[in-house]
Amino acid sequence: MKPELLEMQLRHWHELKGGKATLINLSENHTFCIDMPDKTKHIIRVHRPNYQTFAAINSELMWLEALRSDTELNLITPLAGINNKLVQQLKTEGDNISHAVRFAFEKGQEADHEKDEHLFSDLGRFAAICHNHAQKWETPKGFSRPIWNASAILDRDGLWGDWRSAPNVKGEVREVLERLDYRLREQLNEYGTSSKHFGLIHADMRLANILRYEGHSRLIDFDDCGFGWFAYDFAAAISFFEDSEKVPFLKQKWLKAYRKYRKFSNKDEAMMDALIMLRRMALLAWIGSHSETDLAKSLKKGFAKNSAKMASKFLI
């Protein structure tokens, strides 16, 4: 959505009419900062068409609100529109409809995995608290979120697209990744989906989704939350640098913090490498299906080849 088109529809929210919209992030969705004449700021997330349904977005916000109410987590705050609903419908180019949500503006800077490694303790703690809550929370009637299992990621019609259609997936790279696909399905099927290690997860809990302000961490962006293996939240934490030599250290940092709040068995720990590879395949598919984004453009050259190298080591 173009900023000027959003500006024409700010009437959907209290006191935002007359604001100036600036696109601050384009990934799965368009995220805009709204600057008002009185110097206040606001955030509006305009959803990617045909990704999350109206019911799924409402469900995301249900869990977010429950976490805000039931836990001590420092989270973002969704704000209702003039119709008292959190999810609004906006006209986009060609008179298509996109869903949109307003959030309170929060001060802070996005954390960075190269300079903020110590924050993996926060990620472990956040994950454990979210997982504890998910196990006890009774999902409301009509609750609907994606299921991040092997088929949803590895099938040709996967949630983020088909990894086979990603850039440079051919020849020997394709052959290795096909073997990885088979092995992951086999291991994860054996691991199973017991409620002890499978449930509602954030699914994108990485430092890019942590805001830091005055020494405090705030968890944002629940747009990918759904049902998956709890250990997948660590796999998401190392997105795009799974092949870094720092990963074993970061894993132990995450685990130490996680285990202070929640049990994590040796069997669960043994499955972490498989879930890291599953996440890597999800990202490979994402790069192929989101080629218009700057992130996908920056990664497409070597991502498939490096994924195959990781797969070769995993398959030994």
Concatenate the DSSP letters of all residues of 157-187 into one string.
T-TT--GGGSTT--HHHHHHHHHHHHHHHHH
pLDDT of residue 83: 96
Q: Which residues, 6+ apart, have CB-to-CB distance to 8 below 8 Å?
A: none
End-to-end CA distance of the chain: 46
Same fold, 3-106 and 110-315: no
CATH class given for the domain over 110-315: alpha beta
Domain positions in the chain: 3-106, 110-315
By the 10 Å C-beta count (0-12 exposed, 13-18 middle, 19+ buried), 116 is classed as: middle
Q: Which long-range contacts (CB under 8 A, 24 or more apart) does 220-224 make?
A: 220/75, 220/76, 220/106, 221/76, 222/60, 222/63, 222/64, 223/28, 223/29, 223/45, 223/47, 223/52, 223/60, 224/28, 224/146
**Residue type (1 letter), 177:** L
Least Cα distance to 200 among 221, 217, 218, 222 occurs for: 222
CA pair distance 263, 95, nearest whole angstrom: 50
3-state secondary structure at position 30: strand
- CB atoms near residue 247 (< 10 Å): 17
Cα 239 from chain centre: 10
Cα 308 from chain centre: 23
Domain 3-106 matching CATH 3.20.20.70: the answer reads no
Q: pLDDT digit of tens for each residue in the chain (316 aa)?
A: 899 999 999 999 999 989 999 999 888 899 999 999 999 999 999 998 888 999 999 999 999 999 999 999 999 999 999 999 999 999 988 778 999 999 999 999 998 878 888 999 999 999 999 999 999 999 999 999 999 999 999 999 999 999 999 999 999 999 999 999 999 999 999 999 999 999 999 999 999 999 999 999 999 999 999 999 999 999 999 999 999 999 999 999 999 999 999 999 999 999 999 999 999 999 999 999 999 888 999 999 999 999 999 999 999 9
CA dihedral 217, 222, 223, 227 (to 10 degrees): 140
Q: Is 192 left (phi over 0), alpha (psi -120 to 50) or beta?
A: left
Q: Provide φ and ψ at 23, rounded to 5°.
A: -70, 120
What letter would DSSP give residue 10?
A: G
Q: How far is CA 31 from CA 26, 46, 230, 235, 278, in A?
A: 6, 6, 27, 24, 27
Q: Is the pTM of this model over 0.85?
A: yes
Q: Which residues, 6+ apart, have CB-to-CB distance to 225 below 8 Å?
A: 60, 63, 145, 200, 201, 202, 203, 204
3-state secondary structure at position 199: strand
